[in-house]
């Protein structure tokens, strides 16, 4: 894992004061294609930061309807068996201030009712035996739903996240991501529907974890943790701009999901999470230099009202989730690489993303079978 700050070197950013500008006219200078400097006025930077809904999110109540609708739905899609995003997309829309579109968005996504398989295993005493077992999905759902009915959601997180966090990448990060969206929703409004969604997120995560947890490490303070996680997300953003496939989306949204729950996690577990992300991101970290150089030539989207309206009408949740995560990362770093990733997503079609995803999955399978490929 690179040392904190390595990926966020200050050489690519400066203020107008360092170039002779006045304090009143301060601008952010970015190195653009072929080393040219591109100016972003501070009011424009603030406009990007103003997109996210914060303490008060319009149409917050729309989430409860979405969670209630999909409570009985299969967490996996047919044929591809990818994780269904029917509840994650709406929470990201609300976070973008687009909650008024949730009703129309979920109307395009069907409920696929299924009966979760159960074994009757006692998770209080034998939870390690149920990790990574699809046939225990119903057991996990029942256990977690019960705990969330009688305990504060933070206490349930404190019990189970330490047992899952060593495998943040399970189900392509979606156990973590679905959990994180539910946690943020609960922080805004604690309702039974949102507690049920958290139970489903944690249960999904549990069925993807294949190994028992290791011990805890030395605590990482919040500032250092954020630097480490944002480094990983930045490498993911560069990789996505270079090759915008669906798996690459999650190299950004996965780390950014952890930052949504990190304040609920024992700091001694942060090293475990960072080590897990370092494994999931090993290839993109290795390729970061080349990917970053190519990404710097990508345009920065306006993300104006018209673009956000089009985003809300996307049937695919991935553009919505990536845009929201990229804006949160930009909010914390002022690094426009994250904006470029959001723009790259808008430049690609759903068909193009699907073809790149299929290619990446096929190449991955071939590489596992024939490492020399």
- Please report the pLDDT score of residue 45 as a whole number: 83
Question: Exposure of 40 by Cβ count < 10 A (0-12 exposed, 13-18 middle, 19+ buried)?
Answer: middle
Tell me the average pLDDT across 292-319.
93
In a domain, 253, yes or no: yes
- Please report the pLDDT score of residue 348 as a whole number: 76
Percent of the chain scored above 90 by pLDDT?
Answer: 76
Q: Rounded to an integer, what distance in angstroms lies between the CA atom of residue 234 and that of residue 227?
A: 10
Helix (H, G, I), strand (E, B) or coil at 200: helix
Whether 116 and 19 share a structural domain: no
- C-alpha angle 183-185-191 in degrees, rounded to nearest 5: 100
Q: Residues 183, 91: contact at Cβ < 8 Å? A: no
Q: What is the pLDDT of residues 220-235, one digit of tens each?
A: 988 999 999 999 999 9
- Please report the pLDDT score of residue 350 as a whole number: 52
Give yes or no for residue 209 having a pLDDT over 80: yes
Give yes or no for residue 4 having a pLDDT over 80: no
Question: Which of 245, 259, 249, 117 is CA-nearest to residue 184?
Answer: 259
How many domains, in total, are found in the chain? 3
Given the structure tokens 């019990």, which residue do they identify? 159
Q: Rounded to an integer, what distance in angstroms lies between the CA atom of residue 266 and that of residue 254?
A: 19
In a domain, 73, yes or no: yes
DSSP label of 116: -
Terminal CA-CA length for the chain: 26
Sheet hosting strand 37-41, strand order edge to edge? 13-15, 27-31, 37-41
Q: In terms of residue numbers, what domain contains 178?
A: 62-208
- Please report the pLDDT score of residue 80 as a whole number: 87
Tell me the average pLDDT across 127-153.
98
Q: Rounded to an integer, what distance in angstroms lies between the CA atom of residue 83 and that of residue 78?
A: 10
Stronger pLDDT, 114 or 21, i.e. the higher one: 114
The residue from 208, 231, 257 where one domain ends is 208
Whether 32 and 171 share a structural domain: no
Whether 66 and 202 share a structural domain: yes
Whether 139 and 270 share a structural domain: no
Q: Rounded to an integer, what distance in angstroms lies between the CA atom of residue 333 and that of residue 328?
A: 9
The residue from 177, 208, 239 where one domain ends is 208
Whether 14 and 85 share a structural domain: no
In a domain, 1, yes or no: no
In a domain, 268, yes or no: yes
Q: What is the pLDDT of residues 331-351, one digit of tens each?
A: 999 999 999 999 999 887 554
Quote the tokens at residue 134: 């699809």
Which band of pLDDT confidence, cut at 50, 70 and 90, is reported for residue 39?
A: low
Q: Rounded to an integer, what distance in angstroms lies between the CA atom of residue 316 and that of residue 320?
A: 8
For the chain, what is the mean pLDDT?
Answer: 86
Whether 146 and 204 share a structural domain: yes
Which band of pLDDT confidence, cut at 50, 70 and 90, is reported for residue 30?
A: very low
Choice among 11-15, 88-92, 131-135, 307-311 with the minimum mean pLDDT: 11-15
Tell me the average pLDDT across 297-318.
92
Quote the tokens at residue 83: 């994780």
Handedness of CA 119, 120, 126, 131 (dihedral sign): positive
Give yes or no for residue 312 having a pLDDT over 80: yes
- Please report the pLDDT score of residue 38 as a whole number: 52
Backbone angles phi and psi of 14, in degrees to 5: -155, 165
DSSP alpha helices (H): ranges in 151-173? 153-164
Whether 365 and 293 share a structural domain: yes
DSSP per-residue letters across 296-343: TTSPPP---HHHHHHHHT-SSHHHHHHHHHHHHHHHHH--THHHHHHH
Given the structure tokens 């899952």, which residue do they identify? 164
In a domain, 216, yes or no: no
In a domain, 4, yes or no: no
Quote the tokens at residue 164: 């899952």
**74-to-83, 116, 134, 283, 328 alpha-carbon distances in Å:** 9, 8, 12, 32, 29
Choice among 26-40, 96-110, 210-224, 279-293 with the minimum mean pLDDT: 26-40
Quote the tokens at residue 46: 């603030």
Whether 249 and 315 share a structural domain: yes
- Please report the pLDDT score of residue 217 as a whole number: 82
Tell me the average pLDDT across 272-297.
96
Strands 37-41 and 27-31: antiparallel
Choice among 21-35, 109-123, 168-182 with the minimum mean pLDDT: 21-35
In the chain, which ranges are E strands? Answer: 13-15, 27-31, 37-41
Whether 128 and 240 share a structural domain: no
Residues contacting residue 344 through CB under 8 Å, at least 6 positions apart: 240, 241, 244, 298
Given the structure tokens 């080393």, which residue do they identify? 35
Which band of pLDDT confidence, cut at 50, 70 and 90, is reported for residue 357?
A: low
In a domain, 56, yes or no: no
Whether 70 and 203 share a structural domain: yes
Whether 245 and 177 share a structural domain: no
Q: What is the pLDDT of residues 42-89, one digit of tens each?
A: 778 889 999 999 999 999 999 999 999 999 999 999 988 999 999 999
Query: What is the number of other CB atoms lying within 10 angstroms of the CB of residue 38?
Result: 14
Whether 248 and 327 share a structural domain: yes
């Amino acid at each position: 894992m690179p040392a904190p700050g390595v990926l966020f070197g200050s050489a690519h950013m400066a203020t107008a004061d360092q170039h002779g500008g006045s304090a009143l006219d301060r601008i952010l200078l970015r190195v653009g294609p072929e080393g040219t400097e591109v100016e972003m006025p501070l009011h424009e930077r603030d406009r990007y930061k103003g997109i996210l809904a914060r303490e008060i999110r319009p149409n917050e109540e729309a989430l409860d309807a979405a969670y209630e609708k999909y409570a009985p739905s299969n967490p996996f899609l047919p044929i591809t068996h990818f994780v269904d995003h029917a509840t994650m997309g709406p929470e990201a829309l609300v976070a973008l201030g687009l909650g008024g579109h949730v009703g129309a968005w979920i109307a395009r996504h069907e409920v696929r009712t299924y009966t979760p398989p159960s074994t009757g295993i006692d998770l209080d005493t034998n939870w390690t035996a149920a990790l990574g077992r699809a046939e225990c999905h119903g057991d996990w759902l029942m256990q977690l739903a019960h705990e969330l009915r009688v305990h504060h959601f933070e206490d349930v997180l404190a019990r189970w996240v330490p047992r899952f966090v060593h495998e943040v990448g399970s189900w392509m990060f979606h156990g973590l991501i679905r959990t994180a969206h539910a946690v943020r929703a609960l922080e805004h409004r604690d309702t039974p529907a949102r507690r049920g969604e958290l139970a489903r997120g944690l249960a999904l995560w549990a069925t993807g974890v294949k190994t028992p947890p290791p011990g805890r490490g030395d605590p990482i303070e919040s500032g250092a943790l954020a630097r480490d996680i944002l480094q990983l997300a930045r490498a993911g953003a560069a990789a996505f701009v270079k090759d915008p496939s669906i798996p690459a989306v999650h190299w950004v949204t996965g780390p950014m999901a952890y930052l949504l729950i990190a304040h609920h996690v024992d700091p001694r577990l942060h090293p475990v999470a960072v080590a897990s992300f370092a494994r999931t991101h090993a290839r993109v970290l290795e390729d970061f230099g080349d990917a970053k150089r190519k990404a710097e030539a990508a345009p920065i989207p306006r993300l104006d009202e018209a673009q956000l309206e089009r985003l809300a009408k996307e049937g695919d949740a991935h553009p919505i989730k990536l845009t929201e995560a990229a804006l949160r990362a930009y909010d914390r770093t002022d690094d426009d690489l994250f904006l470029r990733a959001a723009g790259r997503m808008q430049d690609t079609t759903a068909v193009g993303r699907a073809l790149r995803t299929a290619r990446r999955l096929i190449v991955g399978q071939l590489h596992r079978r024939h490492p020399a490929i």
